[in-house]
Chains A and B, each alone.
Chain A
């Protein structure tokens, strides 16, 4: 938009001021409301003194039981806002459900989740990280976009080197670029999702089992994760089913494509029997919509094609066609504990779903590490998390490998259907039914991480 504005000569000079003014506008309401509030309280002297007293009382109570504040950094506005917001819902609810409603942790301290909106941009991530540091948030949950996770990983590593005693811990619950627990691994980063190659290993196993397939089209967003998906699908399918031909390998800019039909035209003319994509958010739903609208009847193997309105939008058209590789079993659920958690969440958020139950796993493991070390210091938590074994509420056995900080958990491949669905997605009647599952021990892969551990 800057570019376009610059064209009109009379206005081009003013563009900078435009920006400033609009920012200014945003801040004025706060000032006004603050003034208004001040005015009000002045007129009510009596209530003021009572208020001050109450304030002082609660303040002294707060210092004794200061809440444990955890940052949640993900896009909460913009194109990918729905993904970030649903994650925030799950994390906030999990904190209340498991801990705050039961008297808190570490002897009665509550958990407070602080949302940090990074708009899924690496630049904004740096700004939000500064904010987190200034607000003394020492643990940051972050998941969406591997590009952002890489930025945060490097920023945190640098920050922690320079600010001993002020370290920050990155709890990565969804960014799946393998380098985060390989070449770029860090003592301050823990991944609670399976990385892309682990998932692709299972997904290509599943694809290889389908004897009817003879060609596959790969399409993805043009950034680190999309490229990892493409490269590894080609490599793994080449090993497992050399007879399957890769008839297309396409990248498109992330969050920029208005209409996927031109891409679908290419997919159709390539004669592909199946599509593999790592797309998420609006890019995923638009792609699937276009494939369905073009009457192309091929299975779509995906990572993120469910919830946040995607399942409802694809509905019956996506039935038996959309398949997902994921870490969170949706249907059938294995334990009543997990069912209760789901029902309680639905009671509070009827229009939302537990989209990423691994957020609950991550939170529970972090809390266990805090309880074991009786500390909220990132170093102590990190030491406890290493090689932690944990049974999730779904009954899954989890293991956090100490060497590279990668969590191992069962992986599932599910399909979108309306049959045998106990917990649907988007209240659409459609949901995910698990077709194939791989146990924790079978997902363990090698790593190339040489971790530099801080000395204490």
Chain B
């Protein structure tokens, strides 16, 4: 039981930190532009596909370096030539724009790369077990994923709170006019933030591609859960995004590992139902089965009891 717990924690950590890489960019973009970028997970997918193609020529590390750059440039271009124009028509138009963009990117990926799963592999450098615990291996690549995610959080947090750039960014979130009056190019800052946000999603794609497989549905699978994370953490809050990512990752991982459910609960209460009961499906439900819905349940609870999210302070 203890070994399952240890590994469930590690797995939850990996999933959570991966979610964080996506959520950090999304929450950053939201706090700047006040718009949820529905295409965010699509940039994650683009990152994986670009890295897959680049890795054939430049190896994994070339992909890790250049794929996020390309994705970031595409993101910046989307902001500069798409979102900025649409912005004049209000938030709804922006929302629809990113919604449409998500479909467009998915179709484009299927058009250029095909619908099959892509054989995108982790580098041979990491083809060893970082450590073996209770006879189970924890691959070095997963350790690498954790390291990258921590690095990103550290760097982002430092830049946003300790550096001059961060001060300007934070200022242009709350007082864009004042910042502009001080001589800063606010639209350029917005473009850069969007570019960096999408590049972060790209990084997540590059390093998740080999583990979670690279296929055209990968954006859809991760898309909705990232929004859940951002909302639970509080829209616009970076520490909130980290906490919520880990919370969602661990919650799912523990729920899968825990072999308990309604039968055990009923047994404790001294109740039993025969299998012909009309609600038989309900009485035999167990935790692993509902694990993927738990984050959504958490979302509902957070919204009821703390509508701004765990760390959010944004006024609605």
Does chain A bind chain B?
Answer: yes
Q: Which chain A residues have a beta carbon within 8 Å of chain B's beta carbons?
A: 1, 3-5, 7-11, 14, 17-18, 21-22, 25, 77-82, 85-86, 222, 250-253, 255-259, 261-263, 265-266, 268-269, 282, 285-286, 289, 293-296, 308-310, 312-313, 315, 351, 426, 428
Q: Which of A4, A17, A269, A282 contacts B231 (CB 8 A)?
A: A4
Complex formed: what's the CA distance from A269 to B221 in Å? 27
Asked if B221 contacts A18 (CB within 8 A), the reply is: no
- Determine which of A14, A82, A262 lies in contact with B11 in the assembled complex, contact meaning CB atoms within 8 Å: A262
* B119 near A77: Cβ-Cβ < 8 Å: no
- Mark B80-124 against chain A: 1 for CB-CB distance below 8 A, else 0: 000000000001100110011001001100100011111111000
Contact at A9–B215, with CB atoms within 8 Å?
no
* Among A5, A7, A9, A14, residue most surrounded by chain B Cβ atoms (within 10 Å): A7
Contact with A along B45-71 (1 / 0, CB 8 A): 000000000000000000000000000
Question: A-contacting residues of B (Cβ < 8 Å)?
Answer: 3-4, 7-8, 11-12, 14-15, 18, 36, 38, 91-92, 95-96, 99-100, 103, 106-107, 110, 114-121, 129, 132, 134-137, 139, 141-142, 211-213, 215-218, 220-225, 227-228, 231, 252-253, 256-257, 259, 288-289, 291-292, 296, 299, 303, 307, 316
Which residue in B96, B119, B139 is a CB contact (below 8 Å) of A428? B119
B213 to A295, Cβ gap below 8 A?
A: no
Residues of B close to A268: CB separation below 8 A: 7, 135-136
A294:B217 contact, CB within 8 angstroms? no
Which residues of B are found within 8 Å of A82, using beta-carbon distances? 114-117, 215-216
Interface of A is mostly: helix
B256 touching A8, Cβ below 8 Å: no
Closest-CB distance, B189 to chain A (whole angstroms): 23
Chain B residues positioned under 8 Å from A313 (CB to CB):
117-120, 213
From A25, A80, A251, A289, B100 is in contact (CB under 8 Å) with A25
- CB contact between B117 and one of A8, A10, A296, A309 (< 8 Å): that residue: A309
**Is the beta-carbon distance between B119 and A8 smaller than 8 angstroms?**
no
- Chain A residues lying within 8 Å of B14, measured Cβ to Cβ, are 259, 261
Q: With A22-B99, A79-B221 in contact, is A1–B38 under 8 Å at CB?
A: yes
Asked whether, in the complex, the Cβ of A77 is within 8 Å of the Cβ of B213, the reply is no
In the bound complex, residues from chain A placing their C-beta under 8 Å from that of B299 are 3-4
**Alpha-carbon separation in the docked complex, A295 to B134 (Å):** 12
Besides A262-B15, A269-B3, 17 more A-B contacts (Cβ < 8 Å) are A17-B92, A18-B96, A79-B215, A79-B220, A82-B117, A82-B215, A256-B221, A261-B142, A265-B11, A268-B135, A282-B221, A286-B212, A293-B211, A294-B137, A309-B215, A312-B119, A313-B117
> B15 near A309 (CB under 8 angstroms)?
no
